[in-house]
Amino acid sequence: MMLHFLFWLTIGIVLYTYCIYLLVLWILCVKRGKNNSPENNISQLPEVTIVIAAHNEEKYILAKYQNTLALNYPSGKLFQLWVDDGSTDSTHETLSNLNGITFISNPERLGKAQSINNAMKLVKTPFTVFTDANTFLSQNSIIDLIKHLENPEVGCVAGQKKILWSHSDALASKGEGLYWRFESFVKMAESCSGSTLSGTGELYAIRTNLFSPIPINTILDDFEISASIIKQGYKVKYDNRAVASETGSLTVEDEKKRKVRIAAGCFQALGRHAYLLNPFKNTEVAFKFFSHKLLRWVLVPPAIVGAPFLNAAILLLYPDSSIIYLASMLTITFFYLLVAIGYLFRNRSNVHPMVTFPYYGFMMNITMLKGLIIFLTGKQTHIWEKANRKADI
């Protein structure tokens, strides 16, 4: 009977993480019964600094600079602070020629964490917005973020990461785009029910005085900064109207490299911030960290891999088992058939995303396992290895 228990445990972990957890969040939102997205009626807009760390981003610098200037925010209250992290292309030269920005140059590459630490020493405004050089912000994004910080209980606000893709793209862009639609929905439900867990590196805002220097070997700087703010007793909100858009990875292979690095960062974050699982410190955060992070990072990947083997073992060792196990085996087999089809069509264009997404989801969980191995062996560096991204749409 141990096999039966383990099998249903694996199924339960996956169903809870991706379905039941969202249902619980929805119920909590309904019980709160109030709008958690304040209107843009701030009486006096505060000064804000946008911090952008860049490494070899020559093809995006001018467009990002112009995008920031075009934002719907008083120009005299919005400051750009750029960090060139040891670029070997024309990033340094381009930034040197821009007007109205503060510019820091690292002569050699230090990594994003140290670049952020260096930048934050120069920030004098009460609020800081972090964004990436290759992402472009919606016109009202700064106001959409800052309005939440009028609430003294809020210390960080996450924006929506949006992947630009079209039906002519291959799997990498479509898969990442669909994944971030789901992830954004989860963040929105968590925020609606109280607090989400982290900002997203492409766009998030914080109270400047809550920033603490982060370890220079940090892989996921956005989670590290957000967790520090939660630890100080503040909430993290999410606003899907503040949008940061970027293109997806060019190929699945490029996307795999990104996901493995992120996975290693997840386990680094889990080790550093295990205190977030303490229900006696903050019951809501512990519940959400367990459901959204711990289960998805640690237990879902082996559950997805182990479920078919456990199901097959039950059918072989207990031939008189309930027909439920035959039905589950057929369902799992169908899923893995979709994974195989997605693998075969992963680099083809004009394929419906639902055909290839099962493979993307499976690939994400496999990279979590690989990321764990790389993290445990100490082979993951905190220095970004840039993925090739598709041309703008």
Q: Which residue is associated with the tokens 């990875």?
A: 249
CB 343 within 8 A of CB 360: no
Indicate the pLDDT class of residue 17, thresholds 50, 70 and 90.
very high
Q: How many CB atoms lie within 10 A of CB 237?
A: 30
Sketch out the chain's domains with CATH numbers: 35-251 (3.90.550.10)
Chain centroid, CA 377 distance in Å: 24
Predicted TM-score of the model (pTM): 0.91
Q: Answer yes or no: is pLDDT of 393 > 50.
A: no
Indicate the pLDDT class of residue 378, thresholds 50, 70 and 90.
confident
CA angle 215, 221, 222 (to 5 degrees): 145
Q: Phi/psi of residue 107, each to 5°?
A: -60, -30
Which pLDDT score, from 0 to 100, does residue 305 have?
94
Beta carbons within 8 Å of 191's beta carbon, 6+ residues apart: 36, 158, 236, 237, 238, 239
Q: Answer yes or no: is pLDDT of 339 > 50.
A: yes
For 16, 69, 150, the CA distances from 60, given in Å and listed in that order, are 40, 14, 32
Condensed to tens digits (0 to 9), the pLDDT of residues 217-261 reads 999 999 999 999 999 999 999 999 999 998 877 677 777 888 888
Condensed to tens digits (0 to 9), the pLDDT of residues 100-151 reads 999 999 889 999 999 999 999 999 999 999 999 999 999 999 999 999 999 9
